[in-house]
Amino acid sequence: MKKLGYVVLIVIFIGLFLHSCINIDNPDTKNSSLTTTQNNQIFFREYPTQINVNENGIDYLQSQAPVGIFGGTLIASTIGEGPKTFNPFNSKDNISSTMSEIMYDGLLSTHPTTGQPIPKLAKDFSVNGNDYIIHLRKGIKWSDGRLITADDVIFTWQNIIFDGFGNTSTRDSMIIDGELPTVSKIDNYTVKFTTPKPFAPFIRNLSTPIAPKHIFEPAVKKGKEYFDTFLSTNTPPENFVTSGAFKIKEYVPAQRVVYERNPNYYIINKNNQKLPYLDKLVYLIVGDVNNEVLKFEGGELDVIGLQGANVARFKEMEKHGNFEVYNLGPSTGTMFLSLNLNNRKNDKGNYYVNPVKQKWFQDKNFRQALDYTIDRKNMVFNIANGLGAPLYTAESLNSIYLNKNLPAYDKDIEKAKALLEKSGFYRDKKGKLHDKYNNPVEFDLYTNAGNAEREAIGVMVKQDLEDLGMKVNFKPVEFNTLVNKLVNTYDWDLVIMGLTGSPLEPNGGKNVWMSDGTLHMFNQRPAGYLKDDRFEWEKNLDELFVKGALATDFNSRKKFYDEYQKIAYEEKPFIYIYSPLVISAIRTKFKNLYPSMLGGLTHNIEEIYIGK
């Protein structure tokens, strides 16, 4: 599923894909780790895939990376106020998801370079028609010493996900003709999932975290309202029982999240020693990007995501510094300007959006005029320092489903003015834009405060739109406040936002594009809103996502996803801006790094160690 993205560089937990994959070239060079060169060339090391081994009756996953040294800490960072929850089933934003999913593994994961599904808590799996047979690892344990069994898997999927607890995005993405898959226990270490129909995206959902039944069941029995606060940021660290490489040790609000190694982790090295190598993983909660950069330069951080404006300076410092800069290729997420098309009333009878503004935002000519006014090339040059490319489509530039038949175009202010005139907008003698009812065109533009890149985009969008005579009130706000506006209160006009994503599986965007999706932010429907007030193009999107998920081969699926991109391209509920290169830096003391476009820089955190 897609989540609201926050920082430029995020370790994204990419979903799984079975029928097609990306194969990234791995040049045979002595220095095949990336370096960001003048032509932005990207190099990746070949990742040594982990293998299954059985030691003393326990089914471990064994690292094939060089054996490292135990001990030490890696210090990373996150911008804003920090996570809203540590419960992976409640998280709706990328920060909370990252912080919680560190502690809980799924049945499967994704190979960081091929995109193929690979085992995690599962020892192996097989697909036979609509049936997915999962064999769990025998003998592996939760952090409290209890065995991980089929009962945990059944409970997670049936009693949490399928029963609609927490964030229902995963559940909603798997509904097929009104039916959900079923899950059944074959024995203590074997589980069978069955989908109502062949469902291509299902395999990717098996990366969803598995919960310890003995910990989560009491919370589920207390009901959904209680579950929504379960494992909140106020929960004592000793109450967490986890399966991931790390478990929480300390959380200091607005300052840091500290994780310690899980002594019962099921991945071992080639000497059969339990990983991870690191003793601690720390996330400092920093106020903004500038503060993050200062902390890295001051030695307080070990890894950092770089925005375009800082890359050249970091490349120069790299020559004499103790870090290396990595270019991980185009972002797998998307960044966009969105308009609020919601014309509904709340329970007090008031419109969520001013009815005057709502008429503008629902006007296709108005949306297209904004689109033609945005100077994407100028933004790439001035904000991303040329390290990126304009984006016009709903799929990322590295998506295997990208519709390459949708043409790019430059800023065209005259075309924008002509579109507005078609809908009766006019400029007065002072150049101020009015609608056909003589209302001056003025609205608020939001983004998340502290993200220098998005704030810079906001300033440029404001300037571009003022060329049309619009008055734009640019209002950066704290990220959690912004998320609340987008998905709960709906009281916003325009927003600059980003979504994480996968270049392997478009169905992850179902919760964005389906009319009842939890992130259908441009026309969000309150819970229980039954009236069928969809635009025709929304109805078409609903049909395309259903058909795309039920098609079983790549070429058939791509036809449906090409069409959804075409609709998004023409209707403009999201006006896409540009796709930055994902560039990061990490201290050279860290070894066993295998950076990749799919996995990021620290996807194999359990194998990373500090060298001498």
Given a cut of 50, whether residue 6 has pLDDT beyond it is no
CB of 608 closer than 8 Å to CB of 278: yes
Residue type, 361: F
pLDDT at 531: 61
- Determine the Cα angle at 293 with ends 290 and 298, to 5°: 125
Q: Show Cβ contacts of residue 201 under 8 Å, excluding neighbours closer than 6 positions.
A: 15, 173, 174, 505, 507, 508, 549
pLDDT at 528: 63
Q: Which residues pair with 335 in a beta bridge?
A: 498
Query: What DSSP assignment string belongs to 163-188?
Result: TT-S--HHHHTT-BTTB--EEEEEET
Given a cut of 50, whether residue 462 has pLDDT beyond it is yes
Q: How many CB atoms lie within 10 A of CB 501?
A: 27
How many CA atoms lie within 13 Å of 501's alpha carbon, on the beta-carbon side? 28
Token pair of 342, please? 């919601």
493-514: pLDDT as tens digits: 999 999 888 888 898 888 899 9
Given a cut of 80, whether residue 612 has pLDDT beyond it is yes
Given a cut of 80, whether residue 548 has pLDDT beyond it is yes
Given a cut of 70, whether residue 397 has pLDDT beyond it is yes
Given a cut of 70, whether residue 59 has pLDDT beyond it is yes
In order of start, what are the domains of the chain with their CATH numbers? Answer: 334-438+497-580 (3.10.105.10)
The DSSP code for 50 is: -
pLDDT at 19: 26
319-343: pLDDT as tens digits: 999 999 999 989 888 999 999 999 8
71-128: pLDDT as tens digits: 999 999 998 889 999 999 999 888 899 999 999 999 999 999 888 899 999 999 999 9
Residue with token string 């998005």:
454
pLDDT at 63: 98
Q: Quick one: pLDDT band at residue 20, thresholds 50, 70, 90?
A: very low
pLDDT at 94: 81
Given a cut of 90, whether residue 350 has pLDDT beyond it is no
CA 122 – CA 220 distance, rounded (Å): 24
Q: Quick one: pLDDT band at residue 519, thresholds 50, 70, 90?
A: confident
Token pair of 404, please? 């390459």
Q: Which residues pair with 128 in a beta bridge?
A: 131
**Of 103 and 16, the one with more pLDDT:** 103
**Of 12 and 165, the one with more pLDDT:** 165
CB of 125 closer than 8 Å to CB of 107: yes
Contacts of 419-427 spanning 24+ positions with Cβ under 8 A: 419/365, 419/366, 419/368, 419/369, 419/372, 420/365, 420/366, 420/369, 420/468, 422/365, 423/363, 423/365, 423/366, 425/366, 427/469
Query: What DSSP assignment string belongs to 106-174?
Result: BSEEE-TTT--EEESSEEEEEEETTEEEEEEPTT-B-TTSPBP-HHHHHIIIIIIIITT-S--HHHHTT
177-212: pLDDT as tens digits: 889 999 999 999 999 999 999 998 899 899 999 999
Cα torsion 136, 139, 145, 146 to 10°: value is: 50
Per cent of the chain over pLDDT 90 is 75
pLDDT at 529: 64
Alpha carbon of 370 to those of 424, 446, 462, 467, 475: distances in Å? 15, 16, 11, 11, 18
Given a cut of 70, whether residue 44 has pLDDT beyond it is no
pLDDT at 12: 27
Given a cut of 60, whether residue 606 has pLDDT beyond it is yes
368-379: pLDDT as tens digits: 999 999 999 999
Q: Are strands 442-448 and 494-499 parallel, antiparallel or unpaired?
A: parallel
Mean pLDDT for 129-153 is 97
Q: How many CB atoms lie within 10 A of CB 345?
A: 12
pLDDT at 100: 93
The DSSP code for 564 is: H
Given a cut of 80, whether residue 139 has pLDDT beyond it is yes
Mean pLDDT for 263-278 is 98
CA 273 – CA 265 distance, rounded (Å): 10
